[in-house]
Structure 1
Amino acid sequence: MMIREIFLVCLLGACTCHQLHIANRCSHTVWVGILGNSIPDGGGYMLSAGSSRTTNVPNHWSGRVWGRTGCYGNKCETGDCGGGKIQCNGAGGAPPATLAEITFDAGGLRDYYDVSLVDGYNLQMSMSPRDGYRSGSGHYYCSRAGCNTDLNKNCPNELAVYGTGGVVACMSACLAFNLDKYCCRDSYNTPQKCPPFSYSQTFKDACPEAYSYAYDDQASTFTCVGNSVGSTSYDIIFCG
């Protein structure tokens, strides 16, 4: 659908205005999970290796996309949303899982997006604008967010999650140890009191364009301004 057609659909009130073009470039199947202030496509679907699918979301949509792996029987090895379901239907994914997060039309035509490892990592993942945005400059303006490094290969032993074939995910320090100093809570609940630490720095060194821990906002949040209401669309790519 062309941008002008999307805009007309919005004016008519049947708005599925923004688009997420989700592609699987991994060598294995990925089961997509989607969660937000509305639930498009039943909250998920299966993408075989090399396949892609477009998900439409309304104006002001805010949510996340993640990949589930090893989904057989009634459970996924990573990112499971309960019962091994193809459609998550409003259920979130079990951490650790790499997340692509976006808020459309925040304060006008501005989108905010990031790829987060705050809850840990399971898959390489990237997110970048495709079209419908205004030109601009700056490292965090309409640029690619993501993690291109396979953290599972270098995950510290104490953070590693094992499954079929070895390490299938890498926990965050907060998830692994549940300590305030890693979770940035209670007496550590400000950026000053919760600066980067050794585990978060390991994630940041491997994936500089991804959120490494709770207060990594300044070096992880990307933004893009649309040409008009509902014009922007994004690519979300697993293993790419």
Structure 2
Amino acid sequence: MVFTPTNPTGGSCRALSCTADINGQCPGQLRAAGGCNNPCTVFKTDQYCCNSGSCGPTDYSRFFKDRCSDAYSYPKDDPTSTFTCPSGRQNYRVVFCPRGSSFSS
């Protein structure tokens, strides 16, 4: 997937992409019909949901981050994965299967 602002202006407004086959490579415990769940949905523990404010990366968050470096992979992830575009009129182009992706749909 590629998510691109059509008129980027300042801030951290930039294109984001992930061409990994997340569904095809999804860890067994996170597999769901038609996709891949996040670990909080599956396990419902503070380790994965980060409700107490004292959580860190897990093997599952690293799985997503390793494949999609732009992804915000857990609640306390680093600020380099947070992007904002100026408020107001902003348009985006979303491509679900970009050319050159590493998998077939």
Structure 1 or 2: larger strand share?
1
- Largest Rg, 1 or 2: 1
The runs of 5 or more residues in structure 1 that have no matched partner are 1-124, 163-167
Q: Distance in 1 between matches of 2:49 and 2:36?
A: 16
Structure 2 counterparts to residues 125-204 of structure 1, below 5 A: 125-131=1-7, 133-134=8-9, 136=10, 141-162=12-33, 168-185=34-51, 189-190=52-53, 193-204=54-65
TM-score (norm 2): 0.78
- SS at 2:85 equivalent: strand
Q: CA deviation at 1:217?
A: 5.3
- For normalisation by structure 1, the TM-score amounts to 0.37
Offset, 1:239: 2.2
Aligned to 1:209: 70
Structure 1 or 2: more helix by fraction:
2
Determine the C-alpha separation between the residues in 2 that align with 1:194 and 1:130.
35
Q: CA deviation at 1:126?
A: 2.8
Instruction: Give the structure 2 partner of residue 237 of structure 1.
Output: 95
| Number of corresponding residues | 98
Aligned equivalents of 1:239, 1:161: Cα separation in 2: 21
Secondary structure of the residue aligned to 2:6 is strand
Root-mean-square deviation (CA), in Å? 2.1
Runs of 4+ that moved beyond 4 A: none
How far residue 143 of structure 1 moved from its aligned partner, in angstroms, is 1.6
SS at structure 2 position matched to 1:224 = coil
Instruction: Provide Cα deviations, 1:15-37, integer angstroms capped at 9, x if missing partner.
Output: xxxxxxxxxxxxxxxxxxxxxxx
Mapped partners of 1:146, 1:176: distance in 2: 25
Q: Shift of the alpha carbon at 1:141?
A: 2.2
The CA deviation string for residues 169-218 of structure 1, in whole angstroms up to 9 with x for no partner, is 11111111111111001xxx22xx21111110111001111121122251
Measured after TM superposition, the shift of residue 237 of structure 1 is: 2.2
